[in-house]
């Protein structure tokens, strides 16, 4: 790895931490550069533009969340949909994952408004999480597995919306009830 690549990696990690701490509200080039500990010019030396810096930072955030997911349900392990939903619901309502979910809701909102580069970021992240969920479901029929993965992702994202809109107690109560959900064949 070259010195530039190593510095870019460190800047990306700092940007990811900044986004998790502040969300998208402090994502101007100047604010991103300050968070990364570099000048505006250096930020644009490492990345061609703000969109690339945000995309790389969000990829880092997604990777960090993916590591947490891997710790809860390892590769190759296939679970019944009810169990996977219950485990995911518990994880996303935990304090350590809350910043990830809050940032994700901001990315989705920015994508809905058509703000670049968030539509692309949201599409990539959604595709990645759907693939992850599908690979962990113990359902043989590919169409049913794909549809069930979509429902689980919608429920998990819904918990983040519930927490933002109604507060943590409401989201935690709903996550507890996820154990009672039954999927029919």
Q: What average pLDDT does this structure show over 39-52?
A: 95
At 78, is the secondary structure helix, strand, or coil?
coil
Q: What is the DSSP string of 60-87?
A: HHHHHHHHHHHHHS-TT--B-HHHHHHH
The pLDDT value recorded for residue 123 is 96
In angstroms, rounded to a whole number, what is the distance separating the alpha carbons of residues 61 and 12? 10
- Going by pLDDT thresholds of 50, 70 and 90, the confidence category of residue 184 is confident
Q: What is the DSSP string of 102-126?
A: HHHHHHHHHHHTT-TTHHHHHHHHH
- Going by pLDDT thresholds of 50, 70 and 90, the confidence category of residue 152 is very high
Q: Which residue has the higher pLDDT, 181 or 75?
A: 181
The pLDDT value recorded for residue 80 is 95
Beta-carbon contacts of residue 185 (< 8 Å; ≥ 6 apart): 144
Q: What average pLDDT does this structure show over 42-51?
A: 95
- Going by pLDDT thresholds of 50, 70 and 90, the confidence category of residue 128 is very high
Domains of the chain plus CATH, in order, are 1-61 (1.10.10), 73-185 (no CATH)
In angstroms, rounded to a whole number, what is the distance separating the alpha carbons of residues 43 and 29? 8
Write the CA distances from 147 to 5, 50, 75, 102, integer angstroms: 40, 35, 20, 25
- Going by pLDDT thresholds of 50, 70 and 90, the confidence category of residue 96 is very high
Q: Which residue has the higher pLDDT, 185 or 112?
A: 112
- Going by pLDDT thresholds of 50, 70 and 90, the confidence category of residue 115 is very high
Q: What average pLDDT does this structure show over 143-151?
A: 97
pLDDT tops 80 at residue 75: no
- Going by pLDDT thresholds of 50, 70 and 90, the confidence category of residue 11 is very high
Residue 47 phi, psi (nearest 5): -130, 145
- Going by pLDDT thresholds of 50, 70 and 90, the confidence category of residue 83 is very high
């Amino acid at each position: 790895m070259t010195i530039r690549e190593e510095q870019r990696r460190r800047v990306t990690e700092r940007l990811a931490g900044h986004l998790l701490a502040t969300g998208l509200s402090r994502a101007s080039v100047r604010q991103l550069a300050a968070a990364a500990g570099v000048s505006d010019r250096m930020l644009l030396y490492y990345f061609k533009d703000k969109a690339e810096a945000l995309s790389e930072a969000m990829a880092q955030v997604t990777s960090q969340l993916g590591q947490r997911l891997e710790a809860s349900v390892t590769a190759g392990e296939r679970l019944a949909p009810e169990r996977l939903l219950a485990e995911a619901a518990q994880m996303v309502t935990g304090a350590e994952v809350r910043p990830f979910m809050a940032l994700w809701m901001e990315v989705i909102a920015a994508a809905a408004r058509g703000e670049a580069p968030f539509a692309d970021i949201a599409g990539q992240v959604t595709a990645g999480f759907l693939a992850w969920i599908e690979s962990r479901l113990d359902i043989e029929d590919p169409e049913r597995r794909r549809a069930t993965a979509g429902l689980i992702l919608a429920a998990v994202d819904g918990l983040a919306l519930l927490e933002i809109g109604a507060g943590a107690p409401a989201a935690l109560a709903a996550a507890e009830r996820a154990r009672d959900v039954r999927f029919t064949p």
